[in-house]
Amino acid sequence: MSSTSGPQRRSRPSRPPAAIRDKALADGKKAGARGRHSGRDPPTVRPPLHDANARSGGAKPDGRKRPHAPAPPAPGPNAAGVEVAAPSRGEAPSEGACGGRWKLSDFEISRPLGHGKFGNVYLASEKKSGTLVALKVIFKSQIEGEKVRQQMRREVEIQSHLNHPNILRMYGYFYDQQRVYLVLEYAKGELFQELQLQKTFSESISATYVASLARALQYLKAKHVIHRDIKPENLLVGLDGRLKLADFGWSVHAPKSRRKTLCGTLDYLSPEMVRGKPYDSSIDVWSLGILMYEFLFGKPPFESPNHQHTYRRIREADLRWPKQPAISEEAKDLIRKLLTPDPDKRLPLDDVVTHPWIQANMDPASLDACQ
């Protein structure tokens, strides 16, 4: 869940220990061998990714360095369950899929994945189905403020009703007197960590990721949902190898009205949001353009030494092209069309997937699997 303090600077988290990273990949392979997850890794050869879900489970960069702390103990097994939001697709844990009642003893806790401001995240398996999940444990004492409660309620309500291959699933939730438990799809990798290692992505990998995310945004737009915080830190890679959009802490359901709230991460804010003007889902299209630039050049296009300079460059859409690495003119053309200051002239999502650069560079098998 995101912080409620407005636009934030991003931090650069450190790599997880190799043993944890390898364990996550091994868990994914075991789960696939047991038939717990459908799908397959796409043919495009990609380097191994790092353990994820820690940030998707609530630990989110906000400009402050988080101290390294010992892993918290796994929660005990004596919680009373309540009815969960029924999942609607795929390998959801069977009891939740039947609209039943979950309790903590229905899950086998494996190990901690991470911890954040509001609680901890654990790798777990639902005993009845054997499904591998990320169990996010939120302490009620940490969400006593009304704003935080409303934000968490909205995040759960929105994400639990989303059903798309490129969006991280929330299978349901339950709670006891002290804690709230969110049952999330387990993802094996965090895209931000991989981008930090690789520095930049190739045009082929970038096109595949951009096309996959465009599909997810098409789905969100049809559901009248604006994510409002799209960035590499909120993108994971699932056990099925697909890109997963996560962390809906700043998301909003806006079927009719435009919004005015200034929120998200500074480097990804759109010009209309910076100017304090009403906005709609086109701000997510702008963020897609920022993402594409960062995939190819290794940093956001308007990143500057101080906040005011960044705000100015965003307002003016001061787009500059580094000499290295060299990218194709077709890639620059798509970035320009996504980073158009006027939201009404921004490239529609339908045209993103059909853009010549996407068609020439993406891995079609990955996109076909998500349709």
Check the annotation: does 188 bind a ligand.
Answer: no
Mean pLDDT (the chain) is: 77
CATH code: domain 189-369 is: 1.10.510.10
User: Which residue among the candidates 27, 51, 229, 284 is catalytic per the annotation?
Assistant: 229
Residue 229 a catalytic site member: yes
Q: Is 108 annotated as a binding residue?
A: no
Is 233 annotated to bind a ligand? Reply is yes
Confidence band of 101 (pLDDT split at 50, 70, 90):
confident
Please tell me the predicted confidence (pLDDT) of residue 78: 31
- Is 186 marked as binding a ligand? yes
- Write out pLDDT tens, residues 281-313: 999 999 999 999 999 999 999 999 999 999 999
How close are the terminal C-alpha atoms of the chain, in Å? 28
- How confident is the model over 75-92, as pLDDT tens digits? 443 332 323 333 333 356
Cβ atoms of 230 and 213 within 8 Å: the answer is yes
The CATH code belonging to domain 18-65+76-187 is 3.30.200.20
Q: Is 185 annotated as a binding residue?
A: yes
pLDDT in tens, 183-214: 999 998 889 999 999 999 999 999 999 999 99
Q: Same CATH topology for 18-65+76-187 and 189-369?
A: no
pLDDT in tens, 238-262: 888 899 999 898 899 987 767 767 7
The one-letter code for the residue type at 225 is: V
Residue 140 known to bind ligand: yes
Structure confidence at residue 162 (pLDDT) = 96
- Whether a cis peptide bond, with omega within 30° of 0, leads into 70 is no
* Cα–Cα dist 161/169, whole Å: 9
Domain boundaries, the chain: 18-65+76-187, 189-369
pLDDT range class, residue 72, cuts 50, 70, 90: very low
Gap between the Cα atoms of 15 and 196, Å rounded: 9
